[in-house]
Amino acid sequence: MSFQGISTGLKALIAAQSSLDTIGNNLANINTPGYSRQRVELVQALGIERNGVRIGTGVDALTITRAIDNLLESRILTQLGVRAQLAERYAAAQEIEFALGEFDGTGVGQSMDSFFAAAKQLAGDPADGILRSNLVQGGIQLGQRFNQVYGQLEAVGGSVEDALRTSVAEANALAEQIAELNRQIRTLEPGGDPANQLRDQRQVAVQALANLAQVEVREDPDGTYRVYVEGNLVVAADRAMRLTTSDQPEGGLALRLEGSAYDLTPRSGKIAALLALQDQDITDLTGGLDQLAKGLIHAVNSAHSTGIPSGGGFTSLVASNALVDLDGNGQLEDQLLADSGLPFDLTAGELTINVVDEESGEQWSQQIAIDPATTTVGEFLSALGAVPGIGASLNAENQLSIVAEAGLRFDFSNRLDPDPDGAGTLSGGKAKLGSALAGPYNLSAGGSLDFAVPAGGPTNLSVAFPIGSFPDAGEVSAQQLADFLNADAGFSGAGLEAHAVGGYLQLASAGAGSSQSFSLTGGGAAAALGLSGKVGQTAVGSDDPVEISISGAFTGAVGKELVFKVAGAGTVGTTPGLGLQVFDSAGALVATLDIGAGYQPGTPLAVIDGIEVAVSLGELSAADDGRFAVEARADSDSADVLVAFGLNGFFVGSDAQTIAVRPDLAADPDLIAASWTGTSGGNQALLALGEIETQELALLDGRTLGSSYGELIGGLGFDLATMELSLDTADQVLGSLQQRRDSVSGVNADEELVDLTRFQQAYATAAQYLSVVTRLQDELLSIL
């Protein structure tokens, strides 16, 4: 073989060797992540001219190139980020779902159900000690479940922070690796050899980075990559910029480039998912859980705080929520109630405080008007202290402390006055007369009322009503008139007193008994005051008076004043037709109770909304227009004072982290305030507590506890389902892209082997033709 022939053969062998090596390398790397299929680029060597004939000089293996589609690689980077973000959020959502425990029966929802079921069960038998313990245990379990779920969510949040720090460190390591590979590629490639292996390694690193954050890549002419994370240059040539995490003032971590003053907000990748989990998902869940716990505490404590324990009212109470010196002046009394750091808002309204003398059974109630925007802590304390028998102060922990004097107990129930006719304007032994008209009265013409009051002999008395005695003589209320009359020395000196009952003016003797009597003898104001029918009538007291008592508990949704009046005349339980009419605040008749023949005196009769009245044996007559009134309050703490301060609550705390059963109540279930009346077997507070489950609560934006919690859980379920679907889609898209990449860059063993076989067949064919040519050449030689 000539030198040229040897050279040609050598080139051919080198080229063939390169091709075979490349095929072998492709096959060997068939499972290497990121490996791009390589191809030997063969070019025909320049031929030589000999005897006017161009003769080829073989083939050169020019270069080995990676089969790669840059656009496809870019789309894969994007999709990797999307997929990683979804996968991370999905995994965290599953963890949160597990923490909530709703699907294994240990969640807050189940605990709430159990708690309310225990409350309803106890309402059926409020004195049952086991049921009381059951309710307390249900409350403890519910509180602990809130605490645990909150703690677990916080733990997830903590692990998110850890994962965020780790991911950022990983991203920095990858950026360093890409920068180093850039340096090596830039060093190697100018020598003529494509650094395919390094480029593959760099692509793997870039893809790993794309799993963490949104990445864009641009290749510079020297073969180095510029890598942008969320639009920020992170790798340039052989330099890598570092990502850092910084603590946010409101908690959690923020991401930024080292030295930058601005936070990065990743759009995809694991870091984006972690930041979203930290800033949105977990925050929303803990916030929702807090709000739910707050709504529960508020509602349960509202029902419980106005109740009365089985042992009766309180001798002392200490609030569980402390006041905070928000203005920092060392004084709490000067602060408005609205700005005193209480965990629950107060509203403008009233607090009713009832005081009972344990020995005599005497009861008195007082309403304290509160406007949190104008009432100071000091004013509130003073108002409490002004209630007879009650003292109020702030203890060393800035908690409100209320103490009753010895022998007294207090409560905040909406209990009814058991003796509503204490003034004796309808029953009792006093002599009495009532107006036939309800106020306000028109006294613009002035006038007087004239009385004859026997005191060892008739004493004539006249009380004048000068126009200037009232702010508006044309609109004088019954109370104004009563106050005016009681202030008149002659009137009171004659042993008379005036009352305003349900808007009517009622006149009575100060004393009781048959010796008491008085007559209305006339006067210019009698007609205006609805007393003209009473002129000449003598009211006489009784030695055997009728007694009226009220029992039950008001269950109406709106408070009202009920006015009672006799219908007919006669003996209770004997005279047919004798009745008791009941009017509402608007004067409408709401009930007529038969207390005549057939009525067993002293038997409670249902009026309306849980109120009962009993009338003892005795004489009653409608002729004197006697009346008494019962004030029924729907909410004895319309200002939410008790909940805000944490007085007589069932729960303490104000959110999911702090909710717990009141410690003294947890230790002594008898402190459960079941009743609004203080009577044995009273269950009104428990009934109200049981109803909370289905009530729409203002603190939960008008939703029930169940629906609010359902929304929280349902939202998570929806998110999980959506994320699962999105993750499937992302997987499919990524799979499709990677399949396309494999078709371009991946090694296919079949393809490589088919190539080999095809070559083999081509060589076999060529050999056949060459043998023909050989034969012909031999034949030609034979004739030469």
Which stretches of the chain bind other proteins, using CB under 8 A?
A: 1-2, 5, 8-9, 11-13, 15-16, 19-20, 27, 30, 40, 42, 44-45, 47, 51, 53-59, 749-750, 753-770, 772-774, 776-777, 779-784
Shortest CB 771 distance to other proteins, Å: 8
| DSSP E strand boundaries for 599-693 | 605-606, 611-615, 619-621, 627-632, 651-652, 660-661
Closer CB to other proteins, residue 42 or residue 338? 42
- Contact in structure between 368 and 359 (CB atoms under 8 Å): no
Tokens of 275: 């930041």
Closer CB to other proteins, residue 239 or residue 758? 758
DSSP assignment letter at 641: H
Closer CB to other proteins, residue 30 or residue 445? 30
Closest CA to 451 of 543, 525, 545, 528: 525
Closer CB to other proteins, residue 600 or residue 761? 761
Closer CB to other proteins, residue 280 or residue 761? 761
Closer CB to other proteins, residue 487 or residue 753? 753
Q: Determine how β-strand 349-357 pairs with β-strand 316-322.
A: unpaired
Shortest CB 61 distance to other proteins, Å: 9
323 SS3 class: coil
Closest CA to 644 of 411, 381, 315, 302: 302
Closest CA to 78 of 245, 180, 207: 207
Closer CB to other proteins, residue 348 or residue 756? 756
Give Cα 635 to chain centroid, integer Å: 23
Tokens of 68: 């790669």
Shortest CB 723 distance to other proteins, Å: 35
- End-to-end CA distance of the chain, in Å? 23
Q: Is the sign of the CA dihedral 258, 262, 266, 270 positive or negative?
A: positive
Closer CB to other proteins, residue 5 or residue 576? 5
Closer CB to other proteins, residue 41 or residue 701? 41
Closer CB to other proteins, residue 49 or residue 104? 49
Q: How far apart are CA 135 and CA 132, in angstroms?
A: 5
Residue 272: phi and psi, rounded to 5, are -60, -40
Q: How far apart are CA 120 and CA 691, in angstroms?
A: 9
Tokens of 454: 């026997």
Closer CB to other proteins, residue 10 or residue 369? 10
Closer CB to other proteins, residue 137 or residue 743? 743
Shortest CB 9 distance to other proteins, Å: 6
Tokens 């699907």 — which residue? Answer: 103
Q: How far apart are CA 435 and CA 498, in angstroms?
A: 11
Amino acid at 751: E
Shortest CB 153 distance to other proteins, Å: 47
Closest CA to 428 of 586, 542, 297: 542
The answer for residues whose C-beta is within 8 angstroms of residue 763's C-beta and 6 or more apart is none
> 131-164 as b/e, with b when 16 or more CB fall inside 10 Å?
bbebbbbbbebbbebbbbbbebbeebbeebbebb
Closer CB to other proteins, residue 9 or residue 190? 9
Closer CB to other proteins, residue 592 or residue 777? 777
Closer CB to other proteins, residue 12 or residue 236? 12
Q: How many helices (H) and strands (E) does the chain have?
A: 15, 34
Residue 231: phi and psi, rounded to 5, are 85, 0
Does the bond joining 440 to the residue before it have cis omega, within 30 degrees of 0? Answer: yes
- Contact in structure between 647 and 323 (CB atoms under 8 Å): no
Helix, strand, coil shares, percent, the chain, to 5: 40, 25, 35
Shortest CB 3 distance to other proteins, Å: 12
Shortest CB 770 distance to other proteins, Å: 5
Tokens of 438: 């309800």
Q: By CB neighbour count within 10 A (0-12 exposed, 13-18 middle, 19+ buried), where does 36 fall?
A: buried
Closest CA to 674 of 127, 121, 113, 112: 127
Residue 415: phi and psi, rounded to 5, are -60, 150
Closer CB to other proteins, residue 54 or residue 218? 54
- Contact in structure between 58 and 36 (CB atoms under 8 Å): no
CA dihedral of 187, 190, 195, 201, whole degrees rounded to 10: 40
Q: How far apart are CA 281 and CA 274, in angstroms?
A: 10
Q: Is the sign of the CA dihedral 309, 312, 318, 321 positive or negative?
A: positive
Tokens 């207090």 — which residue? Answer: 410
Closer CB to other proteins, residue 386 or residue 753? 753
The answer for residues whose C-beta is within 8 angstroms of residue 94's C-beta and 6 or more apart is 720
Give CA separation, 192 vs 67, 203, 264, in Å. 18, 20, 40
- Contact in structure between 670 and 310 (CB atoms under 8 Å): yes
Shortest CB 50 distance to other proteins, Å: 8
Closer CB to other proteins, residue 561 or residue 751? 751
